[in-house]
Amino acid sequence: MHPDLLRYSCQMALPGFGEAAQKLLQHARVLIAGAGGLGCPAAQYLAASGIGTLGIADFDTVSISNLHRQILYHSDDAGKLKAEVACARLQQQNPGIKPVPHIVKITSANVMQIIDNYDVIVDATDNFETRYLLNDAAVLAGKPVIYGAIYQYEGQVAVWNMKHDDGSRSPNYRDVYPHADAAQVPDCVIGGVIPTLAGIIGCMQANEVIKYITGTGELLAGKLLLFDAQNMQSRVIKIGGLTKTHITALQQTAPVLTITAAETKNGLANNTLTLVDVRTDQERDEYHIGGMHFELDEVADNLDEFEPDKTYVFYCSSGKRSAEAVKLLQQKLPGVKACSLEGGLGRWGLNQH
């Protein structure tokens, strides 16, 4: 056996796998969108399996609260860019692959360019806006999406937009979830998540990628796998063989205004900005930088607290929940000026808290 293939000897020993399948993995280009709870285990196992080019798209920084489930990172990585840290660790794990960091927020303006160089997209995102955007872009580009999602003790896995022999496509995310209100579904920080679930679902996503690239096994196309970590039961729901949606263009979304930590500190010194903390009560008790406080799901019930002659800076641990709060104010109170603290408290310069 060639020395370059020695590390893959166990998987190459599988019936129906062999050197031919391994070469398919080595020539494959896989994009993982989101280097969090799902993206970390998916990336590690795909790197270990020998995926030739592994793109990691994430503009967020590491927070201490990530570490219980985002196992690529260490305590001293707090405040560092996830995509950069992830790619460095994956390169150490397997020097024979090419990790590519994409340190950008995926938007309607750049998504087509980002996914263009990849064969398959792993949806390891944690917000609806990016999830729908990736789905629609993949449909337009004719690329499959390996979907995963987790919340509390439950997870989901599916393969969207698979091409059939006759050129038709399997269902995509919008066939199952035509639309969703992100404000009604709390994220992991608010709703909680058991860390092992992230590993289980992320590994399932990696498994589907390997099956897709090598043409082995039966993919979760036209199906949705539901997993319950409390009773260790799973079931597969058949959702049909063909898509019924007609996606012809990307939906354009208004950008969320952001402000840097330096700009915020300057504005606070000049009394021109008002801070609003949208983290949980527990996070607030542990540390805060002042300002008003409403948990994200409480903002809509306290709109009368916001005045049109003020400029509000919403903040959270990473900038994701604060961005959701800004979008809510843009919809409900278009006359109120609001922006999100870029990078959250991770960029504030006080990561030890």
Residue 40 annotated among the catalytic residues of the structure: no
DSSP string, 281-327: HHHHHH----SEE--GGGGGGGGGG--TTSEEEEE-SSSHHHHHHHH
Quick one: average pLDDT of 329-347? 90
Name the DSSP letter for residue 14.
Answer: S
Sign of CA dihedral 45, 50, 55, 61: positive
Confidence (pLDDT) at 65 = 83
Identify whether the C-beta of residue 106 lies closer than 8 Å to the C-beta of residue 126. no
Confidence band (pLDDT; 50, 70, 90) for 352? very low
d(CA 192, CA 68) in angstroms, rounded, equals: 11
- Spot the catalytic one: 40, 188, 203, 339: 188
Q: CA dist 101 to 35, 137, 148, 270, 305, Å?
A: 10, 20, 21, 37, 41
Please tell me whether the overall predicted TM-score, pTM, comes out greater than 0.85 for this model.
no
Both tokens of residue 303?
């709109």
In this structure, are strands 154-160 and 223-228 parallel, antiparallel, or unpaired?
antiparallel
Q: How many residues does the chain have?
A: 353
Confidence (pLDDT) at 180 = 64
Q: From start to end of the chain, where are the E strands?
A: 29-33, 53-57, 98-102, 120-123, 145-151, 154-160, 223-228, 233-238, 258-259, 274-277, 292-293, 311-315, 337-341
Confidence (pLDDT) at 136 = 97
Say which amino acid occupies 272. Answer: T
CATH superfamily of this structure's domain 3-238:
NAD(P)-binding Rossmann-like Domain (3.40.50.720)
Average pLDDT over the chain, rounded to an integer? 92
Identify whether the C-beta of residue 83 lies closer than 8 Å to the C-beta of residue 98. no
Q: What CATH number is given for 258-347 in this structure?
A: 3.40.250.10
Residue 188 annotated among the catalytic residues of the structure: yes
- Spot the catalytic one: 40, 87, 316, 339: 316
Quick one: average pLDDT of 216-224? 96
**Counts of helices then strands in the chain (DSSP H, E):** 12, 13
Q: Is the pLDDT of residue 181 over 60?
A: no
Q: What is the pLDDT of residues 98-137, one digit of tens each?
A: 999 999 989 999 999 999 999 999 999 988 889 999 999 9
Q: What is the pLDDT of residues 309-320, one digit of tens each?
A: 899 999 998 888
Confidence band (pLDDT; 50, 70, 90) for 186? low
Tokens 């129906």, located at residue:
16
Confidence (pLDDT) at 263 = 95
Q: Is the pLDDT of residue 4 over 60?
A: yes
Q: CA dist 49 to 78, 165, 170, 207, Å?
A: 28, 27, 26, 10
Residue ranges of domains in the chain: 3-238, 258-347
